[in-house]
Amino acid sequence: MKLLSTKATCNSHGQDSSYFLGWEEYEKNPYDEVHNPKGIIQMGLAENQLSFDLMESWLSKNPDASGFKRDGKSIFRELALFQDYHGIPSFKKALVDFMAEIRGNKVTFDPNHIVLTAGSTSANETLMFCLAEKGEAFLLPTPYYPGFDRDLKWRTGVEIVPIQCNSSNNFQITQQALQQAYQEAQNRNLKVKGVMVTNPSNPLGTTLSRSELNMLVDFIKDKKNMHLISDEIYSGTVFTSPNFLSVMEILKDRNYFKDSSNDADEVCDRVHVVYSLSKDLGLPGFRIGAIYSENTTVVSAATKMSSFGLISSQTQYLLSSMLSDKKFTKNYLVENSKRLKQRHKMLVSGLQKTGIKCLESNAGLYCWVDMRHLLNSNTFEAEMELWKKIVYEVGLNISPGSSCHCTEPGWFRVCFANMSEETLKLAMKRLKEFVVESTGNNNTRNTNTQSKRKSSSLTKWVFRLSSRDHRDRQEER
């Protein structure tokens, strides 16, 4: 008799991905300007730390919110007691209004159709439980966020079939790639329940075009009984044109909301939006996520499931006050966008001085960086070897494209909003020195004994990951 369940002992969580293993190496040797100046700089974490001062300023001017008071009187006892898992109405109203503001108020959201969850991780998994059975599939364009292998598949048993996008058209989704992914699922005897996209994209840092969004809506409309999930948690991080275009605006433009054309209700019921305050406000620790759907059955089921991952009443009260302050939210969105644009420019410029280019992007907390010219060969094994050198010898944790299921070796996601300007400058200095030495010595480097010893500890899982990635790509074909 087994002591533990299959789920507890299985290896399908995805924790052995190089995306997470890089974090582990950083945590063993984190950079600190004073205490560990030669440590690893964390550039694999998409956090927004650029505008904390704006929120701290608001908190200092609004002590009742953080002190759990209303009109100067304590409401601690009220917030300490159990709250209905439907959420505090004032917070739901403030959240949907904030979502509309990010979208230029071109669309509105009904607070009765939003489900609160403990972060977008919970929101995405909850939607999988609502929309698909174990063994059924969702199509996802590559490259995609490595955590989706955990969030969408681990507990639900839902499969992911990649929509293979490539650099020839800047990784845009094409009709051919979409149809090929659908056919691949058919060949594997998988029932496709829908398509999921991140908009703006993680890891590309680009927004989906109107033509791409219309193509996706047409796809689920024509296939019938298929859903479209748009993960829009980076919607407030757009810092330059083109502006963010939500799938909700597409539905509105096509008159696909309720009480319109004959098939509008049916299509509208199959489009769902995921949102979070983790990226736009930089509050991942607050665990604020949400599902928005016009499908009342999905809202009802997801609300019941949300009882397993509620947002604290204290958090809801605090943020309902903050988001209801329209002067603050307007200023925050404008200023945060300016800061992201400036920091993005700083990273791109630093990489260019090193001879490294990026995919042109307009959103997000990262860049999709092209290091193909630094590979010893056009293979994922060479990508992993380069990544290993960058982690241990350069002291930068970045995310290799293979962890994002990119089909082309040599692309990396590099984050820029989770550190100070001084730390980013140091990261660029380290990288430039590495590139100069590597290319100047025919890609060979003289490393000290300590660096070699550290590097060897990665070797076993570099080869394991490379073998697994090769196997996965063979299966995807």
Which residues participate in catalysis according to the annotation? 145, 231, 233, 279
Quick one: which H or E segment has residue 366?
strand 366-370
Taking each helix axis as running N to C, give the angle between helix 313-323 and helix 326-353, from 0 to 180 degrees, rounded to the nearest 10: 90
Tokens 């100046």 belong to which residue? 37
CA–CA separation, 73 and 152 (whole Å): 43
Q: What are phi and psi of 303, to 5 degrees?
A: -65, -40
CA–CA separation, 469 and 146 (whole Å): 13
Radius of gyration (C-alpha) of the chain in whole angstroms: 23
What is the residue type of 144?
A: Y
Give the start-end residues of each E strand in 73-145.
73-74, 114-117, 137-141
CA–CA separation, 213 and 150 (whole Å): 25
Alpha helices per DSSP H over 103-191:
119-131, 148-151, 175-187
CA–CA separation, 63 and 60 (whole Å): 6
Taking each helix axis as running N to C, give the angle between helix 449-476 and helix 380-389, from 0 to 180 degrees, rounded to the nearest 10: 150
Q: Check if the beta carbon of residue 340 is closer than 8 Å to that of residue 239.
A: yes
Q: Check if the beta carbon of residue 191 is closer than 8 Å to that of residue 225.
A: no
Alpha helices per DSSP H over 115-263:
119-131, 148-151, 175-187, 210-223, 247-253
CA–CA separation, 239 and 468 (whole Å): 37
Q: What are phi and psi of 349, to 5 degrees?
A: -65, -40
CA–CA separation, 450 and 254 (whole Å): 61
Quick one: which H or E segment has residue 353?
helix 326-353
CA–CA separation, 181 and 477 (whole Å): 9
Q: Describe the strand order of the beta sheet including 411-415 as a list of residue ranges.
A: 357-358, 366-370, 411-415, 399-400
